[in-house]
């Protein structure tokens, strides 16, 4: 059941290992990277309780010693104070240029640990061990690392590719259903942006993926990672095609800002709703058929996911305010909003050529459905 996907980046290429029970065998993959049998692990307190001892044992089998720092769980950790603590701890642990830092956790820990590795002694190698579905299919692959600033999310960071990603699909069993389905929003995104057959497979097998069928989970994670790896290999620093990975994200960022980055809307939930809105917009602009947005919504609905704006608890601001919030997205270029639209399921493209009125009308109708 174990799969390997290679991210092809010349002499910085690396493997993503995907399958069950990888933590317990982590040493098999990590040992060949090490100059000495010792690693420093950054994690969070919740993940540490669940998985740190399994990792310790999995490293011990190949004689690797491990020290660990567990930071508080949650998005607030992706900030200067915790970053400073992490970097100082790595220095106290005497992590050297030839050593390897391990990130054990979800997107917050992966981003923070990757950024710490990027700047420590001008750059040390790091291994991603993502423990959430979202981190396995998106944030652990591709080398985007960083922390949030008071001015916005992910505004401080660096591109720093990991040397290895271990995506252990067994650890997904400890996720809540809501968090799992939020990550699934990113999985659906891959089908919608570039692989209609994968979307069709998800329509037929999504329930198996969410209910814990391991073979279905490995397949969903593997296809997602393959697609991300291909895109990152073509466009590592997002000069072009990598923006396709932001399907649904322009809407999502406005909704996250409008809900205060709170528990009202998780990132992957916003991505799923954003994908449905991006297809609605594409259909209204005559780019894809009217059936496509209905099909996207039908799948999200069948999975028990948030699908429409009405599924977000509490009040939302007006369409005008939401469009203004989009304008604060860091992907705005010269004041032009950039959208990922689609000519059909699996056929996304990047454009700055979207009339503001069309966006306003999609959002107004979504806010007040007839
Ligand atoms: N999450 C989008 C990217 O890695 O480019």
**Is any ligand 1 atom within 6 A of the Cβ of residue 245?**
yes
What would the pLDDT profile of 173-187 be if each residue is shown by its tens digit? Answer: 999 999 999 999 999
Assess whether 297 carries a catalytic annotation: no
Strand-pairing partners, residue 70, are 43
6-33: average pLDDT: 98
Nearest residue CA, atom 3 of ligand 1?
245
pLDDT of residue 369: 78
In the DSSP assignment, the letter for residue 311 is G
Give the pLDDT confidence score for residue 301 in this predicted structure. Answer: 98
Please write the tens of the pLDDT for every residue from 95-134. 999 999 999 999 999 999 999 999 999 999 999 999 999 9
Residue 75 near residue 108, CB atoms below 8 Å: yes
Q: Rounded mean pLDDT of 81-96?
A: 98
Question: What's this model's pTM, rounded to 2 decimal places?
Answer: 0.96
Taking 80 as the threshold, does the pLDDT of residue 370 lie above it?
Answer: no
Set 153, 253, 299, 306: catalytic member: 253
Whether the CB of 186 sits within 6 Å of ligand 1: no
Atom of ligand 1 nearest to the CA of 231: 5
**Active-site annotation holds for 154:** no
How remote is the CA of residue 93 from the centroid of ligand 1, in Å? 31
- Please state the atom number of ligand 1 nearest to the C-alpha of residue 141: 4
246 has catalytic annotation = yes
CA of 138 to the centre of ligand 1 (A): 7
Residue identified by tokens 């939020």 is 182
User: 334: pLDDT confidence band, cut at 50, 70 and 90?
Assistant: low
* CA atoms of 135 and 143, how far apart (whole Å): 12
pLDDT of residue 1: 85
Predicted local distance difference test score (pLDDT) of residue 345: 98
Pick the catalytic residue: 51, 144, 219, 299? Answer: 144
Element (H, E) at 302: helix 291-302
Q: Which of 161, 163, 142 has its CA nearest to residue 98?
A: 163
Beta strands in the chain (DSSP E): 3-7, 14-19, 38-44, 65-71, 100-105, 125-130, 144-149, 152-159, 164-168, 339-342, 348-351
How far are the Cα atoms of 157, 238, 327, 352 from residue 334, in angstroms, in the given order?
21, 16, 10, 10
Q: What is the pLDDT of residue 34?
A: 98
User: Residue 266's pLDDT is what?
Assistant: 96
Q: Give all domains of the chain, ordered by start, each with its CATH number.
A: 3-174 (3.40.50.1970), 199-367 (1.20.1090.10)
**Predicted local confidence at residue 327, as pLDDT:** 74
Q: pLDDT, tens digit, for every residue of 311-329?
A: 999 999 999 999 999 877 6
Q: How far is the CA of 144 from the centre of ligand 1 (A)?
A: 7
Position in ligand 1 atom list of the atom nearest CA 142? 4
Closest atom, ligand 1, to C-alpha of 246: 2
């Amino acid at each position: 059941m174990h799969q390997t996907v290679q991210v092809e980046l010349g002499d910085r290429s690396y493997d993503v290992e995907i399958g069950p029970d990888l933590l317990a065998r982590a040493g098999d993959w990590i040992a060949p990277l090490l100059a000495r049998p010792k690693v420093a692990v950054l994690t969070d307190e919740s993940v540490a309780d669940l998985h740190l001892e399994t990792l310790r044992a999995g490293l011990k089998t190949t004689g690797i010693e491990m020290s660990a720092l567990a930071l508080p769980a949650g998005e607030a950790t992706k900030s200067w104070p915790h970053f400073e603590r992490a970097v100082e701890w790595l220095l106290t642990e005497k992590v050297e240029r030839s050593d390897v830092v391990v990130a054990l956790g979800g997107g917050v820990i992966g981003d923070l640990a990757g950024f710490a590795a990027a700047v420590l002694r001008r750059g040390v190698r790091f291994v991603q061990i993502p423990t959430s579905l979202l981190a396995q299919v998106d944030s652990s692959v591709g080398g985007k690392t960083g922390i949030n600033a008071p001015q916005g999310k992910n505004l401080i960071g660096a591109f720093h590719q990991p040397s290895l990603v271990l995506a252990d699909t067994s650890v997904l069993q400890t996720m809540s259903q809501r968090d799992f389905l939020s990550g699934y929003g990113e999985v659906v995104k891959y089908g919608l942006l570039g692989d209609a057959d994968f979307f069709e497979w998800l329509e037929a097998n999504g329930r198996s993926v969410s209910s814990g069928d391991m073979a279905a989970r490995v397949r969903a994670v593997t296809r997602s990672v393959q697609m991300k790896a291909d895109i990152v290999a073509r466009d590592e620093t997002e000069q072009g095609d990598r923006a396709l990975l932001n399907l649904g994200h322009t809407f999502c960022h406005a909704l996250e800002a409008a809900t205060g980055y709170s528990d009202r809307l998780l990132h992957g939930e916003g991505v799923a709703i954003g994908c449905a809105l991006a297809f609605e917009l594409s259909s209204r602009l005559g780019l894809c058929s009217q059936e496509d947005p209905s099909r996207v919504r039908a799948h999200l609905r069948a999975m028990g996911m948030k699908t429409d704006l009405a599924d977000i608890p509490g009040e939302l601001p007006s369409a005008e305010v939401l469009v203004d919030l989009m304008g604060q997205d860091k992907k705005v270029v010269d004041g032009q909003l950039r959208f990922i639209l689609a000519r059909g399921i699996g056929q996304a493209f990047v454009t700055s050529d979207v009339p503001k009125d069309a966006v306003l009308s999609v959002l107004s109708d979504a806010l007040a459905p007839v």
